[in-house]
Amino acid sequence: MGKRNRNKQRNQDKNGNPAGRSRDDAGWGAGYTEINKENKLFEQYYQELKIVPEGEWEQFMEALREPLPATIRITGYKSHAKEILHCLKEKYFKEIQDLEVDGQKLEAPQALSWYPDELAWHTNMSRKILRKSPLLEKFHQFLVSETESGNISRQEAVSMIPPLLLKIEPHHKILDMCAAPGSKTAQLIEMLHSDMDVPFPEGFVIANDVDNKRCYLLVHQAKRLNSPCIMVVNHDASSIPRLQIECGGKKDILFYDRILCDVPCSGDGTMRKNIDVWKKWSTSNSLQLHGLQLRIAVRGVEQLAVGGRMVYSTCSLNPVEDEAVIASLLEKSEGALELADASSDLPGLKWMPGMTSWKVMTRAGEWYADWSEVPQSRHTQIRPTMFPPADAEKLKAMNLERCMRILPHHQNTGGFFVAVLVKKDPMPWNRRFPKLRGKAAEAVGAAEEIPAETADEGGEAAAEDKPKDLEDSQESSVKKDGVCGPPPSKKMKLFGFKEDPFVFLSEDDPVFSPIQKFYNLSPTFPKFNVLTRTHEGKKRHLYMVSKELRNVLLNNSERMKVINTGVKVWSRNNDGEQFGCAFRLAQEGIYTLFPYINARIINISVEDIKVLLTQENPFLSKLENEAHEQAKKLSMGSLVLRYQPDTQNAASPQCPIELCGWRGKTSIRAFVPKNERFHYLRMLGVEVFREKIRGGPVDGKTAGEPEIGEPGEMPTVEDSGEVECEGDKGAEAKPEAPELDGEEVMEAEDSPAECTAENNEKVVTPETV
């Protein structure tokens, strides 16, 4: 007899249906039990704390029981953002306005009043309506396709707030401590690239997550943005290692200008979409998470540069996870940290000021207003840092009212908490032991030396390098009051897949000479920033990272576990050398690489783009005269297809477009992934949609009527599903399959086989039907 799957049983209700799923969730039938959106302990707790203004409790609870509106964000750093916005407002939003689906009237989508430049929108359409209604099929396909291309992100409204409050500038070094699934990370990357004329911003984003599998979800999100300034790492945020960089020929400690500290939380602000919280909510969740949240926040401010800015956020409404963590952090900083007043940073956003008084309740319903009231038997569950400071003057000086709590009923959102901290001085434990830190640096050798001036300015030896007397001193001065200081030393544990090494190419690497000549690269091209992922054999792909990320990689190979970094700029073609260069351009990195390319460029028109993106392998003669003449002068091989905006024609796209192409003997083709093809065609006003197979029934359904994501559709647009929102922490992400070791095969006449296999599925337009 086989073993019973206990996990499967445990995740089902008595009727065999998946526990925690509501009847509203797509795909579940009538035999399903409704989730009871009631929790008396939850109501008792927050009514006692007076977290909601007087007279608004019923509105608050009604909002929590309503489904969360769908919200989308247009990626703001790309020059195409305005074109996407124009397409949404003038086409899709007008088409769905005042539609009725299943008796429900759809309201016109509204721009979030507090998000800059109308780049974020919300609507009352649920996921089920979007996915199942034939009237909204084109809109849903548009969202799926543009999400895959990185031009739109589906993200909860309140999740967009923390990156905005960080006030990112292109030169900032940024750490995202608990980054997966990555929608906030994507915002940070966008802000770094606010100036598209700068291919390599000085700053970078290091995105970290403790879960190895979720790191690959993070990689997927980041890859959509094709940035050379992002690195994904896998560490416990509470003990993330101190990194080093080289500055002026000497080793220095890396301090971050901006840190996003979006910690794991109980998530009661996500009740509108995570309905499991209704039955699972308990005060013990917050009591158990408080210590971890505080350790992560402490580790964050340690690595923050003086003058830097850290945003602490949770999707919890509980002051034990919110104000209590901030108050403890401020108290132990001894004036090194200050709560910033962010009240005017997001005009139009409604929020409640932070609380200055709260109590702690056990799961059994016992209340404690002060640490002195907690019996000895509860000291392992309830800690002194969970209470407000007893000293009234100290409490007033903290300005906890500057914290921001977003309540669901105020602007039809989820619940959220956010606080902005500014670092004015080094943390006190960094100031107390500079000499001991110097000894720690000497102990690990010259390569690990920490300059004395850096230590005095707030640096500390890496956790694993601290001498024991320093650790003991810190523990006695910090942990005695219940707040963890610098984390104890931990040996880095490696889980999951073993990543290939990152190998930077030398300036005289033989791979550069043919590339330099073929594409006539500018002398300013940063060869030192090119890397590959193998020590041996032929280099299959070449990637690029920014100068500062190169610095981090070279000086910390043994300190951190890097999952992914860089953007692909070239890929090898087996027989490419016969055309003059063994490497073709990669679309992912074209916007990074194009400023340095001075040859093999064809200027194309709007009509040329339509031909190249809708026809599989058009003859050169299909191009308009100017592009045709330029193409005839070029030899076979990889090239750039460039569109320059026509300011005299307002109906045409008003942003530059660069596409990778391939010049064959008699033909030319665009080397562009299918979702990006759809993106550019929509920008040109061409309608693209799925072609359905006509014929016999598919899975018992009438021919021609398959549902989205089911068999029976031509593979014109892949239904990628919904991109996870920030509140969905804990979902597993499958790691990307490793790239094959085999080399790409050149087709007999014109182009790499990869182009046909990956990118040239039939694009369905009104002209081709």
Whole-angstrom Cα distance, residue 555 to residue 231? 14
pLDDT above 90: residue 616: no
Taking residues 284-299, what's their average pLDDT? 96
pLDDT of the residue at 538: 83
Residue pair 281/39 in contact by the 8 Å Cβ criterion: yes
Q: How confident is the model at residue 432 (pLDDT cuts 50, 70, 90)?
A: low
- Tell me if 215 sits within 8 A of 180, measured CB to CB: yes
303 has which bridge partners?
none
Q: Quick one: pLDDT at residue 576? A: 62
pLDDT more than 90, % of the chain: 54
User: Can you list the positions of beta strands (E) in 90-222?
Assistant: 100-101, 104-105, 110-111, 120-123, 152-154, 173-176, 204-208
Task: Kindly report the backbone phi and psi dihedral angles of residue 227, in degrees, each rounded to the nearest multiple of 5, phi listed first.
Answer: -105, 135
Pairing of strands 583-585, 601-603: unpaired
Q: Angle at CA 119, nearest 5°, toward 117 and 125? A: 140
Mean pLDDT is highest, among 91-105, 455-469, 585-599, 676-690, for: 585-599
Asked whether the predicted pLDDT for residue 530 surpasses 70, the reply is: yes
Look at the alpha carbons of 708, 713, 717, 720 in this order and tell me if their dihedral is positive or negative.
Answer: positive
Q: Which residue has the higher pLDDT, 648 or 318?
A: 318
456 falls in which pLDDT band (50, 70, 90)?
Answer: very low
pLDDT digits (tens, 9 = 90+) for 113-160: 999 999 999 887 767 777 777 778 888 888 888 888 888 998 999 999
Mean pLDDT for 265-279 is 94
Over residues 599-610, mean pLDDT: 95
What's the rounded Cα separation, in Å, for the pair 209 and 767? 47
Is 180 or 729 the better-scoring residue by pLDDT?
180
Reported confidence tier of residue 508, pLDDT bands at 50, 70, 90: confident
In this prediction, residue 498 carries a pLDDT of 58
- Which carries the bigger pLDDT value, residue 297 or residue 676? 297
pLDDT score at 703: 33
For position 94, what pLDDT does the model report?
A: 82
DSSP 702-716: PTT-PPTTSTTB-TT
Q: Is the dihedral of CA 267, 563, 296, 403 positive or negative?
A: negative
Note the pLDDT of residue 95: 80
Residue 762's SS3 state is coil
Query: What mean pLDDT is predicted for residues 708-737?
Result: 33
Place of tokens 């799957």: 5
594 has pLDDT over 50: yes
Comparing 407 with 696, the larger pLDDT belongs to 407
Numbered ranges of CATH 3.40.50.150 in the chain: 159-481
- Lowest mean pLDDT segment, chosen from 338-347, 361-370, 463-472, 580-589: 463-472
pLDDT of 7 over the 80 cut: no
pLDDT at 723 over 90: no
Q: How far apart are CA 576 and CA 746, in angstroms?
A: 8
Residue with tokens 């009727």: 15
Mean pLDDT over 79-90 rounds to 85
Check residue 471 and give its pLDDT: 34
Catalytic residue from among 229, 315, 581, 755: 315
Q: Is residue 315 among the annotated active site residues?
A: yes
Cis, peptide link before residue 181, omega less than 30° from 0: yes
* Predicted confidence (pLDDT) per residue in 325-338, tens digit: 999 999 999 999 99
Give the DSSP per-residue string, 153-198: EE--GGGGHHHHHH---TT-EEEETT-TT-HHHHHHHHHHTSSTT-
Task: Give the residue ranges of DSSP H helices in 225-366.
Answer: 276-280, 283-302, 323-333
Q: Mean pLDDT over residues 275-284, rounded?
A: 92
Q: Residue for token digits 């900083």?
A: 333
Q: Tens of pLDDT along 187-243?
A: 999 999 887 778 889 999 999 999 999 999 999 988 888 999 999 999 999 999 999
The values of phi and psi at residue 184, to 5°, are -70, -40
Kindly tell me if the per-residue pLDDT of 709 is higher than 60. no
- Which overall architecture, per CATH, does domain 159-481 show? 3-Layer(aba) Sandwich (3.40)
What is the rounded CA–CA span in Å between residue 712 and residue 699?
A: 9
Predicted pLDDT of residue 5: 46
Nearest-angstrom CA–CA distance, 756 and 747: 9
Mean confidence (pLDDT) of the chain: 79
Cβ–Cβ under 8 Å, residues 564 and 252:
no
Could you give the maximum distance between any two Cα atoms of the chain, in Å? 86
Lowest-confidence range among 128-142, 163-177, 542-556, 675-689? Answer: 128-142
DSSP-based three-state secondary structure for 430? helix
Q: Residues 750-761: pLDDT tens digits?
A: 444 444 333 433
Write out pLDDT tens, residues 15-34. Answer: 444 444 443 443 333 444 56
Q: Are 669 and 754 in contact, with CB atoms under 8 Å apart?
A: no
